[in-house]
Amino acid sequence: MYSDNSCTLPRDIGFVGLGAMGAHVKSVYLDPETGIIASLSRTSTRPFPDKLLIDSSTIDTATNLHVKEQLSRFTTSFYDAPVSGGVIGAINATIAFFLGSSASDANLPRLTTLLQTMGGKVIPCGGPSLGLAAKLSNNYLSGVITIACSEAMDMGMRAGIDADVLASVFAAGTAQNTICDVFNPVPGVCPKSPSSNGYTGGFRVQLMKKDFGLAMDMARRVGARNALGVSGLGVYTAASEAEDCRDRDSRVVYRYLGGREDWFHRRKGIEEEEN
């Protein structure tokens, strides 16, 4: 396909990235008229070397494995490579790719070179569909932390602790995490975060609901017990349907849970009066 980790035949490298459900991915690959497999069937006699297909959709692992099986009759290598890092990471090209391949895969050097043109880290997760399994595990944990951070921040603030002070406490203790440090759900704590900008931008709450649900489905298939899963999915489902939360960043669950959003403006007003 290409040598020295450079792309000499870009038509033999295909990227697919759909934030929607698995049915859409099946259509992209399996539609008898317009699907990728139909296209490969029409061109299979052409003297092209092996093709790479890289799918960055966040879908269920079963659909991913089904598509890979359907592609197995072609000289095609198919990899799941979902991303993490959010909108900010995508803009800054610092997103991480969770790659469904082993560390010894012959295509790994080429895959790494390709993916690092768009992101920072490329982590081989062990084999087919395991990049997706890693992404769903990651988003499940991120979703749970967001709810816990929202509850803990609101609880401490209602007890009388300043939000900035409370965030500093979490950062210095065992509760330290990226959500609290970078994407704090309380408006004003992290000035560049979606919460400080009306919960605009970022990762929409409906997408978190979708990924959280996919993670729960995966947990059931593999026999994992998720004690927080049902409650968490309930929160994201309700928030995604609430008029003041829908289409906003997923950290808007702080608003859905009744968190106080006016603390920053009140404190700013007090400081201005004192000065």
DSSP state of 78: E
pLDDT tens string 79-129: 999 998 877 777 788 899 999 999 999 999 999 999 998 888 999 999 999
The identity of residue 55, as a single letter, is D
The identity of residue 20, as a single letter, is A
pLDDT tens string 200-257: 999 999 999 999 999 999 999 999 999 999 999 999 999 999 999 999 999 999 999 9
Mean pLDDT across the stretch 144-170? Answer: 98
- Residue pair 128/65 in contact by the 8 Å Cβ criterion: yes
DSSP character string of 61-114: HHHHHHHHHHHTTSSEEEEE--EESHHHHHHTT--EEEESS-TT-TTHHHHHHH
Q: Which of 139, 108, 142, 110 is nearest to 125 (CA)?
A: 108
Q: What is the pTM of this model?
A: 0.84
Q: Which of 17-21, 64-68, 138-142 is least confident? A: 17-21
Residue 209's alpha-carbon distances to 21, 78, 232, 251, in angstroms, are 12, 27, 9, 12
Q: To the nearest whole percent, how much of the chain has pLDDT over 90?
A: 61
Residue 47 has phi, psi (to 5 degrees) of -80, 50
How many CB atoms sit inside 10 A of residue 27's CB? 13
Query: What is the overall mean pLDDT for the chain?
Result: 86
Mean pLDDT across the stretch 163-189? Answer: 97
| pLDDT reading at 10 higher than 80 | no
Catalytic residue numbers, as ranges: 135
Domain annotation for the chain: domains and CATH numbers: 10-127 (3.40.50.720), 134-274 (1.10.1040.10)
Beta bridge partners of 124: 99
Half-sphere exposure of 156 (CA within 13 A, CB side): 17
What pLDDT shows up at residue 93? 82
Q: Give the SS3 label for residue 84.
A: strand
